[in-house]
Amino acid sequence: MQVDKVINNNLIRSHDEKGQEVLVMGCGIGFKKKPGEYIDDGKVEKVYVLQKEERQHMEELFSSMPLECIQATNEIVEYATISLGKQLSNYLYLNLCDHIHFAIQRSKGGIPIQNALLTEIKRFYNHEYQIGMESLNIIERKTGVLLPEDSSIKICNPQ
């Protein structure tokens, strides 16, 4: 793949072998790259296939997010996809990444996160709840921030 546009040091817009527009993410993948140059396959962590209406929103969101939040999102979505046994929407990446970033900011600011439905969710959506709890482990490993149990429900909302 070749660089169409460098969004930031960790994100490049390109086209895949089918000619579909993609965002290519990887640590340092866009550093000192220029349009037309080839992308180092060894640095590719994730390739997002874009629909036309998604492109601008994904570029804006991912360009403003810390790499650790994006990496946590990728790992959580991969884990949830395997655990649930079904493909999840690309919009989940956008919403989840934004939510993780906001939850981390709230946590660092000392703003508590509470979920009044925690008991009901554990009971009626236990599988999703367990995915949410594993998500907290992933977020802590990637960002160094341990979010409270109440955050797990918002991360993997069963609705």
Residue with tokens 């991912």: 62
Whether the per-residue pLDDT at 158 is higher than 70: the answer is no
Asked if 56 contacts 33 with a C-beta cutoff of 8 angstroms, the reply is: no
d(CA 102, CA 64): 12
pLDDT tens-digit profile of 82-121? 999 988 887 788 889 888 999 999 999 988 878 888 888 8
Q: Which domains does the chain have, with CATH numbers?
A: 5-54 (2.30.24.10), 67-155 (1.10.1790.10)
Asked if 152 contacts 132 with a C-beta cutoff of 8 angstroms, the reply is: yes
pLDDT tens-digit profile of 36-78? 999 999 999 888 887 777 777 778 877 888 989 999 999 999 9
d(CA 116, CA 2): 48
The pLDDT assigned to 159 comes to 47
The pLDDT assigned to 78 comes to 92
Mark out the alpha helices in the chain (DSSP H runs). 52-64, 67-84, 91-108, 118-124, 126-143, 149-155
